[in-house]
Amino acid sequence: MRKSVDVTKYEIDWQILRSSVKGKFNDNLSLKFDKVRSYFEQTYSYDRWERCVNWLEGLEKGMKDDCKKFLILEEINQYKSIKPIKRESIIINQQKNEIIKYDFQSRYILWKDLFLTNAKWLENGYFHKECNLFIDCLYSVFKNLNEIHLIDTKYNLKNLIQLRCKCSGIPNKHQFFF
C-alpha cells in the first residue's frame, strides 16, 4: 500500500509503538498484533488504520517463515474489512506537547531507531521530508528539556544534517516508500 497524501506515519504514538515492538516478540506475532490493534482501536481513524496496514505489509515482506506470513496476511485481511473514514489532522510541530508526555528512555529509543533509518535513507539518496521534520521536532524536545547531553554523540543531529546536505547529490537507490 502506498501512503495516502495526507497520512503521516510520523505521529508520536505510532512511532513509540512501532519502535517498541520492533524486533521484539519475534516468536509471538499475536503480541505484536495485539499492541498494534490496541493503538488502532484508540480512535479507529483512517490514518491509524493505514499506518497499521502499511506496517503489517512491511512485516510480511520481511518475513521468511511461510506460516508467519500467512498469519500476517490474515491480520491484514481483518484490517481491510474495516476501512474507517475518520481522519486525523496532525502537523508535526504541533506534536511537541504530545512528545513531551513520553519519558526520556522511550523518546531516546525512538530517536536512535529513526536516526539509523534516516541515515541509511540519506546515504542511499532518499530524503524523506516528513521523517526529517519529525526528527527535528523530536530533537527540539530533547533540547527544550536539556537532554541533549544524554544523547550518545554518534546519534548527534549534526551527523544527519551533514548527510542531508550530501543527499541531494546522490542518486536515489531506496526502494520502499511510505
Please report the pLDDT score of residue 56 as a whole number.
95
Find where cell 537507490 sits: 173
Mean local confidence (pLDDT), 62-79? 91
Please report the pLDDT score of residue 170 as a whole number.
85
Please report the pLDDT score of residue 141 as a whole number.
93
Please report the pLDDT score of residue 177 as a whole number.
56
Model confidence at 160: pLDDT above 80? yes
Q: Where are the domains of the chain?
A: 12-80, 93-167
Return the closest-CA partner of residue 11 out of 47, 58, 56.
Answer: 47
What pLDDT, in 10s, does the model give residues 10-69?
899 999 999 988 877 667 888 999 999 999 988 888 889 999 999 999 999 988 889 999
Please report the pLDDT score of residue 173 as a whole number.
81
Angle (CA) 134 88 55, round 5°: 65
Model confidence at 155: pLDDT above 70? yes
What pLDDT, in 10s, does the model give residues 81-131?
887 777 776 666 568 888 999 999 999 999 999 999 999 999 999 988 888
Query: 57 exposed, middle or buried (CB, 10 Å; 0-12, 13-18, 19+)?
Result: middle
Model confidence at 138: pLDDT above 80? yes
Model confidence at 5: pLDDT above 80? no
Mean local confidence (pLDDT), 151-166? 90
Find where cell 499492541 sits: 35
| Distance between CA atoms of residues 156 and 131, nearest Å | 16
Please report the pLDDT score of residue 9 as a whole number.
85
Q: Which three cell numbers stand for residue 157?
A: 543531529
When pLDDT is cut at 50, 70 and 90, the band that residue 167 belongs to is: confident
Q: What is the pTM of this model?
A: 0.67
